[in-house]
Amino acid sequence: MNLTITQLREKLVKKEISAKEIVQYYLDRIEKLDKSLNTYISVFAEDSLKQAEDLDNDFNKLKENKLAGIPVSVKDIFSTEGLPTTAASKILEGYKPVYDATVIKKLKKEEAILIGKTNLDQFCHGSGTETSYFGPSRNPWDTERLPGGSSGGSAAALAADLCTTSIGTETAGSIRLPASWCGIVGLKPTYSRVSRYGVLAMGSSLDSPGPLTKSVEDAAYMLGIMAGYDENDFTSSKIEVPNYYENLDASKIKGMKIALPKEYLELELEEGVRKNFLNAIDILKKLGANIQEVNILDPKYGIAVYTITCRSEVSSNLARYDGTRYGYEGSESKNIIDLYESTRGEGFGEENKRRIMTGTFSLSAGYADEYFKKSEQVRQLIKEDLNNILKEYDLIIGPTTPSIALKDKDAKNPLFGELADVLAEGSSEAGLPGISIPSGLSEGMPTGIQFIGKHFDEQTILNASFALEKEIGRMILDI
């Protein structure tokens, strides 16, 4: 129970446990617990057990592949050949892609067992899974609270030990926020470090696939598998991928220069979030880190940029769902006008429509210069500001989010997600890597601390997180 990837792999290789036993354990837990948590949209029980049996009968394959025998869940935004891919929407209900996303191919190459696809905000539009067509997921620490989003199903499934690791995506906090609220590790890589090919696009200049894991060690392990250039994604980077797992070194924290933005502490932080964050700062100082306060651009500008830039890209990306290629499922009419109106009108949720309308307005003639162009100019200023700080410092540190997990009533404000993601948005807009790890509990709920690093320097944020995790420990929920 609650074993990490590396712990399970060790037991598998030593033949202390079989792949089939592992898969059956998780399937039993999903059957028992997911009725109340709603973390999975699809579960592939039969296929998972068959693959596990095949691996148990081929020990060389089990031993040689990095994820052999490991049940992995994937946010239902990744294309999976022949398997449902819904983006938690009605418009894609019944859709089965004819190809795998590059990330899925890489997992399969290492013989990962895809146990199921997890819930999310519809087309990733939201910050608590509350916009999912299949209903919201629940936070396993307190089922009256949200798990965060948009990768909330992945985070909740992992926190409840319904998988060994999960793959999510982040546009501006969608990995780090649910990681913080659910008490797990969430790693958002540098934009272009991991291929977006086969990921149903939300904000094309922002989307970053990344792992949600039970430990920093597992995050490094997974990133090494997922990262790398992809000829199918012209935005993916050709920069060499280091061995993050083998290079993990907690001793590197000694002498590390870390910037602490004053503006982060000036935000209205929940009492426990602030207390646990300051406690983590003290621990890092005792470990030898040199932490200094700095000034950054007001985080509110990150909210403004995200509101315009992301919604503009949403408007463009969702234009493809026009009723001619998707949306026939369940429709009685073959009239193209009727199909367009039914798929666009009924197929999208309220938040989808809201973002499409805002984005379309921002890009429309007479307003593009005033809104979209101005937003991109401010985004560049945010990027320059953060990069200037990182010229002087190894890392930037901050709380992951201002509060513990919210309840449903707190998510009624259409911009609650932007407020929850305020500490992550700027770094996502700048394409920087970031990681959230648990920092403690407040009112019985997890809090998170994040490290933000230089472009393609995931190793440094992993080393810092690894050192802090050794002192604080993992947040383990026993249910």
Active site residues: 75, 150, 174
Residue with tokens 């590390």: 256
DSSP line for 281-306: HHHHHHTT-EEEEE----THHHHHHH
Place of tokens 């666009």: 344
Q: In what order do the strands lie in the sheet with 290-294?
A: 40-43, 113-118, 71-75, 165-170, 208-213, 185-188, 434-442, 445-452, 395-399, 257-261, 290-294
What is the distance between the alpha carbons of residues 331 and 394, in angstroms, rounded to a whole number? 55
Residue 86: C-alpha distances to residues 80, 313, 436 (Å): 10, 20, 27
297 in Cβ contact with 385 (< 8 Å): yes
What single letter denotes the amino acid at residue 312?
Answer: S
443: left (phi over 0), alpha (psi -120 to 50) or beta: left
User: Which string of b and e fits 290-301 if b means at least 16 CB within 10 Å?
Assistant: ebeeeebbebeb
Measure the CA–CA gap between 460 and 479, rounded to whole angstroms: 34
DSSP secondary structure letter of residue 250: G
